[in-house]
Structure 1
Amino acid sequence: MMIANIEFDEGKLRLRQILDDLPNNAEFWNEAQNRFQFIDRILRECLGWDCPYIEVEKYDEGGGYADYLLGQPVKAAIEAKREASKFKLLQKKDTFYQEKLKVVVDNCPIFRKAYGQILEYCVHNGARLAVVCNGSQIVVFQSYILGQPVINGDCFIFDGKEAFYEHFFNLWQILSPEGIYENYAFRVLSERQNPKVPSKASTILPDPKMYRYRTIFQEKLRAISSILLDNIEGREATKGDFYRDCYVDIEASNRNTLLSKKVIADRYKRVSDNGISPAKIKTHINNNKLYIDSTIFSLADGRPLVVIGDVGVGKTSFFEKIFEDLDSCGKNQSYYIHINLGEEAALSDNVKTYVVDKIPKILKEDYKINIDSSIFVEKVYKKEIIDFDDSLEGSIKHIDSHKYHLEKLDYLKKLKDNRSSHVIKSLIFLHEVQKIQIIVVLDNGDQRNFSTQQEAFLVAQEISSSRKVFVFVALRPATFYQSKLSGALSGYKNQVLTISPPPADEVILKRISYALRVAEGKINNTVLNGIDIDLNDIILFLVATLRSIKSNKEIRTFLSNITSGNTRLVIELFTSFCGSPNVEAERIVQIEKRTSDYKVPLHEFTKHALLGEYAFYSPSSSLVACNVYDIFQPDKKEHFLSSLIISYLASPSGERDKDGFINGSQIIKEMMRIGFIEKQIRPTLRRLANHRLIETPHAHYREILVEEKELPETFCYRSTSVGIYHVRYWMGNFSFLDATSIDTPIFDSGTQKIVFANVESFGIKNRYEKTIAFKKYLLDIWYDAMFDIDYFNFKNVLDGQNPSFLSVENYLAKEN
């Protein structure tokens, strides 16, 4: 925070002294003398300004220079004039007052010229407050007013040098470092400018979150697709076939992503201590033994292998595939203990207790090993029994055998009842004596809170300390980062490998192909036993959809980018697409029956992604979409703020670190340069980060909770594939504009009338009329804004999406 380097009373005394010491010829000073002899002294000696918060004669890219810039980032600009350039002002009783800016501009040619100059400096430097001073008069006004021209605003006027002293309290509130930092003048001047954000069309809907009901066929399609696409990997009967046919290797190339290869390669770089990306996890099976392809991993280290992967990246599938790669002999010689800390452990208060209870259950149910049986316990504690026999308690073995057995049983019971130690001891026995390869996976802890993930790591550390068990613990990058700073991982040197997401389009293509083979009975279809549904139409729907994804690069690009590497999300999105009330499934099947070559268009996928199960778009209707046209302040230019931020981050513009992140304060400075204010930029940054359109290095907002009082500019950001897809493609598409038009405040009354009139209609003719009006409204604002940028062009985005409008126009022409 900017703080004056003097007290208020001291500043006022100094001002009095400066005024008393002014020479008689002060009114003849030129601009340079006025600045040096008077304005400099007022700012530094009376108002407490000091470096680095004051900058003088700052040249800008427009070819001009500002006399003074105040604040970091810049919040105010001052234009100095020579003393003789008196402003022609209306006579007032008081020497400090608030006046209409237009009155001053219209009646004073000298001020009018200064007004034009200072506005330019404010625009180029991002200053929100403009100040013009000729030595004896000061005029302060807003350089930007939401939703209206600057000249319609008010200004503060100090008329005469004595006014500076008589109204020093006001001068301090307006121009001291604290006053500038707290935006006092800006807030007071804004009070009389009180435009409001227009209502959204969705506010007149009887039920904005109304569900659309499925047809009977859509219900059947949803039920079958859920079985075949979403839940099938967990079924024992099909698990082997599924991982053989559906698993997409993490090394697969993602050809359709909009992110650079460097960003993809370095996605987990920030989790390391040395700025080098941790190695990707690679495993292989040799003679039915698991090997980790890494120079850092060894069972002898006694440390768990921390596997870092973003949410939904495919960590569970990777672990399952390890075991499925073993042949039948290898599986008989290996125990795979997969512990789900997500839904299954949700009711457990203690992770360690849950894990210690779960391992014996898995050994008993899957491998017929009862680690609590008397025979097993005696084998595990063979050495301990020998030590017991040598003890005083054991010395009665040949004197009183009955009492000896009771004492021994009590001794073994105490060992067994120490559950953590007994479980680990049992695993060691199985490995050393029975030569069993043991793989323990603590999975889905990333679906739980931070403390649960911390506990999971400590349990993994305890088990792996035996040096006989492969222990994997899966964590999110954000959790690993937090824990390295102050959590459980801070005290350990960790073995870290990473899992990268497979290409989303390949994941879906393999899943659909597998689902088709199951539905057609070509592979084990016991999963459909007891289901009395005609599968022919469902097969036709899946065939058409599979063909469409394979042949349409636009669909593959959509799926690859809008889910941002979250495999779980892309499967959920496609599964819900099958049977969605917003997808014309019956029509797809009918055309496929007739042609055997139907290709489902992109808009069917995007419409479902926007609306989900709902009749209308709202911020909660979509898993992946964000209305980039929504606004926080009554400023129509703000419709483009989200797109400008994302595009700025995706461009070569700005100073960024080696991982492509730009400091938040630099983003704010750039957006202020083109006409926005902090009240618009800060909440927009938060919203974009929450919706995964931009990201911080450690997933703040998305995964790490950030308090409202923490300013977003304290973080660095870069755009994600989700954000880039929005601004390069989706925001100009008919489906997107159609859906978001009712969720966007519209300032133009004519456009608002059309959108409101058609808000409830599902008819394509009415939707087209509404969308065309909304598109024109946005384009007019874009032309009026005249943003001085080269990293985003809304007109080009619209032009690129013209085919989505043309298809609707062709359909309407046929209907007519």
Structure 2
Amino acid sequence: MTTTTNATREILRAYRAIRLSEANEASTRLKVIDRVLREVLGWLDEDISPEEHVTEDGATTYADYILKTANAAIVVEAKKGAASFEVPPGNRRVKLSNAFLQSELGEAIIQARDYARKFSIDFAVATNGGTWAIFPAQRHDQIKFHESTALIFWSLDDALDSSYQEFHDLLSRDSVISGSLENSLLGRSENQVENRKLGSYFLSNATRLGNPVFHLIEDEVMTAFSDSIVDLDGESFERCYVAAPESIKFDHKIRMHVSRRDAIVGGHVLRPMKDRDAGELYAKVRSAAANKKPLAILLLGTVGSGKTTFLHYMRKVRMKEVFTCDTQNPYPHWLHLDFLTNPSNVSASDFIYRSLIDYINRDEFLSSFERCVKHAYGDDIRALRAGPLFALGGAEEKINERIADLIFKDYQAVQPYVDRILRYATKNITFFLAIDNVDQIEDESAQSALVTEALTIGRKLSLNLVLCLRQSTFAKHRNSPSIDAFDFEAVQIDPPRIASVLSKRFGLVKYLTEGKKGEFVAENGARIRVDNASQIVNLLQGSVLGTEIGSRIEVLATEDIRLALRMTREFLERGYTNPGRAIEYHRRTGRYVLPRHEAFRAIMLGTRTVYSEDFSPIGNPFDARISITQAQPLRLFILAAAVAYASENGFRFIDGSIIGENMRKIGFGDGFTARILEDLCKHRFLFTANHGVPSIASSFVPSRLGGYVVRDLLANFTFLENTLFDTYIADSKVWQELRNLSHDIEAERNTLHRIRLRVQRVRLFYNYMHTSVAPLIVESQKRGLPSQWCTDPMAERRSDFRRELSRVLTSARKNYGTAAKRVSGVASLTASSEDEDLSNV
């Protein structure tokens, strides 16, 4: 590709003049190299550091240029234009062999390499203004320098004219900050090649105890805290249903606005969590149930907001009398289809039809030949009798056999039979088809097909349709012709307060366990009999409701009721390792608060023995997981900026374009930024304002969880100690220190000494992460980014972190120091949020 502009023509003329006059290095740099870097390759003044000192063995030399952003650094060694780089031009890619390096160009390459290594910079360029050699100065993948290759543009005409696009795509600022050098010279963008995560080395040695009393209440907990409570009877439903929506607008602890996301549907939207709208919705359903007007409901909500629960509450409690079976009179039918139960190899249409025929077979009226089937096939039967079967001369047995064959053939095919039965039935009775958990289908095209097929079937069979969708799913498909053509009644389910939901669910567990007897083995081996298991429920709910544990679950769930229930289940199963004395203490005093760190740890670990982001409800803000050391803190960096924006009055959202612009200024291309934004949304630290798929074109709001990470959890001992196990440690010295400390912790049997070592490990990790994020803050300040990007979140939390470590050590000395009084284990029994048992990792 040939690209010649006025600037490149001027630079080419200047270079030819320099060659003829044998100008010195300074002139070559000023008239050619400086202009190529700035005018052709787009490097900014803030990126270029000329004449950097290199001191070794008392001698000082200078690196001609260092091009540096937060994501990239290149040493450029400049020689005068008359320098003899007269190696015969060859291929673009040249191996850096000893033979090749025996030349003036080779000497310049070695000099640039040595400078780069002294600055711990991975890439370098050697140039005399005409020849440009770009190569890896140091590698992290065990490949030796002499086995590496350089990319060489043998003349300035080659670089600026005939191969301009290739030269620009390799060495321009925009390309370099997007990973061009890594991909072209190393074959990959990653520079983290070793497995330096503590979890990989200590997973097999970790042990995890469960709650020894959990088996006494397991069935009841699984019933009450299940994601889906569709099998509960109406009374139980009423016990655990919460109708009050979440309404937090500002969280004072983290000083951040909790912004509401954009409305997903225009026009009038019913919000049945409010009494007035609930009455209007139920009136519409009653009207449709009376066969007066067909109804199509689009039930929308965020992930885990309680759409399924609301559906069953409406059906089983609020409108129970409407759907009560009356064998003497036609009554409304309600079929709930949950795509969680759909086998992956069954199409959406087949699943719907097979569910419909199963329902027909169970229903006394719809399955009755005399009352329904023969009327559904009435026209066909009359036509057959008057036509093809007339020749049988009134042989009823043969005629009926042929009619039965026809109906049975349709029955085996499923769809024709269902169509006939329901077309007839819906002329006289109302049929509601509720389709739920469409979102569980990961394939977007399959999701779209399901929505289309459900609407088509509903219209064809005159069914009242209730379609449950996440708002994000609706955002993907709202412009599809099928949805546009359907006249929906939009219903918005706002998530209820999680604390209220947990309270109701605990109440149901207590009701279900009232009077239940059993026994368990305590931590000292004694068998303890329990006359009423509901007492255990009192103990457990007292450690959650109205406590910091309950508040933390609410924050971590980010309005996802399903996730809150899951975290609570896992905490109840694994977060209570020493309940024997706790139950006795609770019996005597009526109080006991589980140490908050133990519950938080149980929630973070989920079902694992060591924290892993892949299996935890909480993501890791310290590791971007793109295997690039300089990009590792980007999750925390972008999240901290978003939280800073959300702390200002009048905040609504921050545009992704603003995020991308500022990231490019400090040296990260849009590809990196898009990946980080996707992950922050995946882990619920950020949300898109319009519920759509995150991209740089989206607008974003930080969640309460994102705010708590930046303003609270960065200084939390339990959070730091767990996340460090799934964080890559690039610095070899820090890595070795963390490994050694972890081995010492495993070997230490003195509890107090062990906790001191754990504190030392967390402090080392905190300091390392502070060091990792600092270059991003420095680059932001250097380039004049807005203040939201220039505040160091690790520095802001350092005083809180110091207080946290002091509290942990004070608690350890109080509980495990030689002077601690161990009277009947009371010190452990009275543990509270300020006095924690830290004996477990």
* TM-score normalized with structure 1 length: 0.71
Counterpart amino acid of residue 648 in structure 1: A
Q: C-alpha distance in 2, partners of 1:688/1:454?
A: 26
In the alignment, is residue 359 of structure 1 matched against residue 356 of structure 2?
yes
What's the offset of the Cα at 1:421? 4.8
Deviation digits for residues 721-751 of structure 1 (CA, Å, limit 9, x no counterpart): 4433322222321111222333334433555
Question: CA 1:615/1:163 → structure 2, altered by over 3 Å: closer, same or farther?
Answer: closer
On the 8 A contact 1:100/1:153 being kept in 2, the answer is no
Alpha-carbon distance in structure 1 between the residues aligned to 2:291 and 2:256: 36
State how far apart, in whole Å, the 2-side matches of 1:402 and 1:187 are: 79
Q: Given the alignment of the two structures, is residue 313 of structure 1 paired with residue 313 of structure 2, yes or no?
A: no
Maintained 8 Å contact 2:225/2:505: yes
**Map 1:386-425 → 2, pairs under 5 A:** 391-393=386-388, 419-425=414-420
Encode CA deviations 1:594-631: one digit per residue, 9 max, x unaligned. Answer: 32122334323211112233332233442334362576
Q: For 1:329-372, what per-residue CA distance to the aligned partner results, in whole angstroms no more than 9, with x for missing partners? A: 652333221122212x216623323322322433553x533435
2:645 maps to: 652
Q: Work out whether 1:600 is the aligned partner of 2:598.
A: no
Q: Secondary structure at the match of 1:609?
A: helix
Residues 141 and 740 of structure 1, relative CA distance in 2, 3 Å threshold: farther
Aligned to 2:170, the other structure's residue is in SS state: helix
For residues 783-804 of structure 1, what are the alpha-carbon distances to aligned partners after superposition, in whole Å with 9 as ceiling and x for unaligned? 7656444455224335446665
Find the residue that maps to 1:336 and give its secondary structure.
Answer: strand
Q: 1:698 to 1:764 in 2, by over 3 A?
A: farther
1:511 is displaced (CA, Å) by 0.5
Could you tell which deviates more after superposition, 505-514 or 13-22?
Answer: 13-22
Of the three residues 318, 323, 328, the one matched with 2:315 is 323
Q: Does residue 350 of structure 1 match 2:347?
A: yes
For the residues of structure 1 that align with 2:115 and 2:624, how far apart are their CA atoms? 15
Deviation (angstroms), 1:303 = 7.7
Which of 347, 369, 372 is equivalent to 2:365? 369
Task: Say which SS state the counterpart of residue 336 (structure 2) adopts.
Answer: strand
Instruction: Say how many residue pairs are matched.
Output: 723
List aligned pairs for 1:216-231, cutoff 5 A. Answer: 216-230=212-226
1:242 maps to 2:240: no
Aligned-residue sequence identity (percent) comes to: 15
Spell out the pairing of 1:58-457 with structure 2 (5 A cutoff): 70-71=41-42, 128-129=73-74, 150=119, 155-159=124-128, 167-168=155-156, 176-181=167-172, 182-183=175-176, 199-205=196-202, 207=204, 212-214=208-210, 216-230=212-226, 233-235=229-231, 238-249=232-243, 251-254=245-248, 263-266=259-262, 269=264, 280=271, 284=278, 290-291=284-285, 304-324=296-316, 325-328=318-321, 330-332=323-325, 333-343=331-341, 345-346=342-343, 349-365=346-362, 367-371=363-367, 373-382=369-378, 391-393=386-388, 419-433=414-428, 436-450=429-443, 452-457=446-451
Shift of 1:781: 5.8
Alignment partner for residue 542 of structure 1, among 531, 537, 540? 537
**CA contact 2:748–2:754 (8 Å) conserved in 1:** yes
d(CA) in 1 for partners of 2:186, 2:404: 83
Normalised TM-score (structure 2): 0.69
Does structure 1 residue 738 correspond to structure 2 residue 721? yes
SS at match of 2:797: helix
Deviation at 1:253, TM superposition (A): 2.9
1:19/1:409 Cα in 2 relative to 1: closer, same or farther (>3 Å)?
closer
Residues 253-276 of structure 1 deviation map (CA, whole Å, 9 limit, x = unaligned): 35787898774342x63xx5x7x8
Aligned match of 1:613: 607
Question: Judging changes above 3 Å, is the alpha-carbon distance between structure 1 residues 759 and 321 closer, same or farther for their aligned structure 2 residues?
Answer: same
After alignment, is 669-678 or 562-571 more displaced? Answer: 669-678
Structure 1 residue 316 displacement after superposition: 1.4
For 1:467 and 1:357, the matched residues in 2 are separated by 15
Displacement after TM superposition at 1:690 (Å): 4.1
Q: Are residues 591 and 739 of structure 1, via their aligned partners in 2, closer, same or farther at CA, if it must alter by over 3 Å?
A: farther
Partner of 2:827: none
RMSD: 5.6
Query: 8 Å contact 2:291–2:430 — kept in the other structure?
Result: no
CA distance in 2, matches of 1:638, 1:148: 20
How far, CA to CA, are the matches of 2:29 and 2:297 in structure 1? 70
Alignment of 1:792-807 (within 5 A): 792-800=792-800, 805=805, 807=807
In 1, distance between residues paired with 2:222 and 2:244? Answer: 24
1:323 deviation in Å?
0.9
Q: Which amino acid aligns with 1:5?
A: T
Aligned-partner SS, 2:609: coil
**1:431: how far off?**
4.6
Residue 741 of structure 2 corresponds to 754
Question: Take 1:29 and 1:414, find their aligned partners in 2: how far apart are those partners?
Answer: 91
| Mapped partners of 1:195, 1:462: distance in 2 | 51
Q: Give SS of 1:243's match.
A: helix
Which residue does 2:636 correspond to in 1?
643
Unaligned residue ranges in structure 1 (runs of 5+)? 44-53, 55-66, 82-86, 88-98, 527-532, 703-711
Letter in 2 for 1:440: L
Matched residue type, 1:168? L
Amino acid at match of 1:376: C
For the structure 1 residues 202 and 290, does the alpha-carbon distance in structure 2 shift closer, same or farther, using more than 3 Å as the test?
Answer: same
**Structure 2 vs 1, CA of residues 802 and 546 (structure 1 numbering), >3 Å: closer, same or farther?**
farther
Q: Secondary structure in 1 aligned to 2:468? A: strand
**C-alpha separation in 2, matches of 1:504 and 1:137:** 74
For residues 683-710 of structure 1, the C-alpha deviation after alignment (integer angstroms, 9 at most, x for no partner) is 65554444343455787889xxxxxxxx
- When residues 5 and 284 of structure 1 are mapped into structure 2, their CA distance, relative to the original with a 3 A threshold, is same
Residue identity in the other structure for 2:315: F
| CA–CA separation in structure 2 for the residues paired with 1:420 and 1:508 | 43
Give the residue type in structure 1 aligned to 2:213.
Answer: F
Task: Pick the aligned partner of 1:516 from 510, 514, 527.
Answer: 510
- The one-character-per-residue Cα deviations of 1:229-261 (angstroms, maximum 9, x if unpaired) are 3288344xx521122121122744357878987
Match of 2:465 among 463, 471, 477: 471
- Residue in 2 that maps onto 1:708: none
1:571 deviation in Å? 1.0
Question: Is this contact kept in 2: 1:360–1:370, CA < 8 A?
Answer: no
Instruction: Answer whether contact 2:239 2:504 (CA < 8 A) is retained.
Output: yes
TM-aligned CA distance change 1:6 to 1:803, over 3 Å: same
Letter in 2 for 1:758: I
| Residues 516-558 of structure 1 deviation map (CA, whole Å, 9 limit, x = unaligned) | 122226xxx99xxxxxx96657433422333343322x33432
Comparing 622-631 and 729-738, the one that deviates more: 622-631
Note the C-alpha offset of 1:512: 0.7
Map 1:11-90 to 2 at 5 A: 17-20=13-16, 43=36, 70-71=41-42
Aligned to 1:59: none
Partner of residue 585, structure 2: 591
Compared with structure 1, are the counterparts of its residues 22 and 255 closer, same or farther at alpha carbon in structure 2 (3 Å cutoff)? closer
Aligned residues of 2:300 and 2:470 also touching (Cα < 8 A) = yes
Cα offset, 1:506, TM superposition? 1.8
| Structure 1 equivalent of residue 757 of structure 2 | 769
1:194/1:739 Cα in 2 relative to 1: closer, same or farther (>3 Å)?
Answer: closer
Q: CA separation in 1, counterparts of 2:404 and 2:497?
A: 57
Question: How far is the alpha carbon of 1:574 from its aligned partner?
Answer: 0.7
In structure 2, C-alpha distance between the alignment counterparts of 1:234 and 1:803, rounded to whole Å: 47
Within the candidate set 703, 711, 736, 1:728 is matched to 711
Q: Is the 8 A contact 1:483 1:490 kept in 2?
A: no
Task: After superposition, give the CA deviation of every residue in 1:66-104 in whole Å (9 maximum; x if it has no partner).
Answer: x65845xx68978699xxxxx8xxxxxxxxxxx996689
Secondary structure in 2 matching 1:337: strand
Q: Deviations over 1:303-322 (max 9, x none)?
A: 84333334333221111111
Structure 2: unaligned runs, 5 residues or longer: 84-107, 134-152, 326-330, 518-527, 782-788, 818-841
User: Residues 643 and 706 of structure 2 are in contact (CA less than 8 Å); yes or no, is this contact kept in structure 1?
Assistant: no
The code of the aligned residue for 2:655 comes to I
